[in-house]
């Protein structure tokens, strides 16, 4: 389907296939928007960084990079993203939403939102978990970041995930980021529904850590709070509290499956 085939209709999205048999959703959230959901391409790595910074610079990423999101930090993030994408594309599934009404000159290539999912489809052994920890240690920290903050924050993330999930199979919503000007327009919902549909087809539960901004949306999508996430943002210089919670969506049976 070419871009000329996108109708300006007032519906959420419908399923089509392109000539590579890649599933995508097209349609509109509002009658004035033409949106499409696709897999993130290698050329979108810069847009990924831009959107994450735009979405989170006034909260966690602002604390993470107190001197701004430098070129060195961006290069590290892009390299890490592409390495994950190439190394295990079945596990690391990264989606994007594009707005076809943006100009060709758009600095993000018309990308307005991203969803980064990790699919752990089999029960993992302790050796698997140890190997993941070792790889993370070898990758190290991004340049120009607040190392102490990252160690505390990610230490809690790892601790809570292991306590709640153990070695069970699950799907992790690792990152959900939408440009601020597209908030409350259904873009985040498109990205979440796609990941959850894939999780349901596999019969897997889904897990995430939520900030206050995203919690209500996740609850509407079926996630339930399972514990509070201990993180004192004021300790690191933020002028407000930034409570996080761990959320879990039980495994569902996909439509048409027994």
Q: Is residue 193 part of a domain?
A: yes
CA dihedral 168, 197, 246, 66 (to 10 degrees): 110
Residue 135 lies in a domain: yes
For the chain, the average pLDDT equals 88
What's the DSSP call for residue 233? G
Local structure of residue 30 (DSSP, 8 states): S
137 found inside a domain: yes
Token pair for 255? 């439509």
Classify residue 19: in a domain, yes or no: no
What percent of the chain lies above the pLDDT cut of 70? Answer: 86
180 found inside a domain: yes
Residue 243's contacts (CB-CB under 8 Å, 6 or more residues apart) are: 211, 212, 228, 229, 231
Residue 12 lies inside a defined structural domain of this protein:
no
Rounded to a whole number, what is the distance in angstroms from the first to the last CA of the chain? 32
245: containing domain? 41-95+103-249
Question: CA 67 → CA 79, 111, 140, 164, distances in Å?
Answer: 21, 26, 19, 35
Closest alpha carbon to 26 in 39, 15, 40: 15
Number of domains present in the structure of the chain: 1
* Domain at 164, CATH number: 3.40.630.30
pLDDT digits (tens, 9 = 90+) for 217-253: 999 999 999 999 888 999 999 999 989 999 999 999 7
pTM: 0.87
Cα–Cα distance measured from residue 24 to residue 17, given in angstroms and rounded to the nearest whole number: 6
Tell me if 11 is assigned to some domain. no
144-154 in b/e burial notation, b at 16+ Cβ within 10 A? bbbeebeebbe
pLDDT tens, position by position, 60-111? 999 999 999 999 999 999 999 999 999 999 999 999 999 999 999 999 999 9
d(CA 169, CA 17): 29
């Amino acid at each position: 389907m070419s871009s000329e085939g996108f109708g300006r209709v007032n519906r959420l999205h419908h399923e089509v296939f392109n000539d590579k048999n890649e599933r995508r959703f097209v349609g509109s959230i509002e009658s004035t928007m033409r949106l499409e959901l696709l897999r993130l391409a290698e050329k979108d790595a810069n847009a990924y960084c831009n959107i994450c910074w735009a979405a989170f610079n006034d909260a966690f990423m602002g604390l993470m990079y107190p001197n701004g999101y430098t070129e060195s930090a961006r290069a590290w993030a892009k390299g890490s993203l592409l390495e994950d994408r190439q190394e295990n594309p079945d596990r690391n599934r990264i989606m994007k939403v594009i707005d076809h009404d943006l100009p060709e000159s758009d600095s993000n290539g018309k990308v307005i939102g991203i969803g980064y999912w990790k699919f752990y489809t089999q029960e993992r052994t302790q050796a698997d978990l140890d190997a993941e920890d070792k790889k993370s240690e070898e990758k190290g920290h991004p340049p120009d970041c607040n190392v102490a903050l990252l160690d505390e924050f990610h230490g809690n993330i790892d601790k809570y995930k292991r306590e709640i999930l153990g070695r069970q199979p699950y799907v992790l919503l690792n990152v959900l980021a939408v440009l601020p000007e597209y908030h409350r327009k259904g873009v985040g919902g498109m990205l979440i529904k796609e990941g959850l549909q894939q999780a349901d087809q596999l019969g897997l539960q889904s897990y995430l850590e939520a900030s206050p901004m995203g919690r209500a949306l996740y609850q509407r999508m079926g996630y339930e709070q399972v514990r509070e996430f201990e993180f004192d943002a004021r300790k690191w210089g933020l002028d407000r509290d930034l409570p996080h919670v761990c959320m879990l969506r039980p495994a569902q049976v996909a439509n048409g499956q027994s």
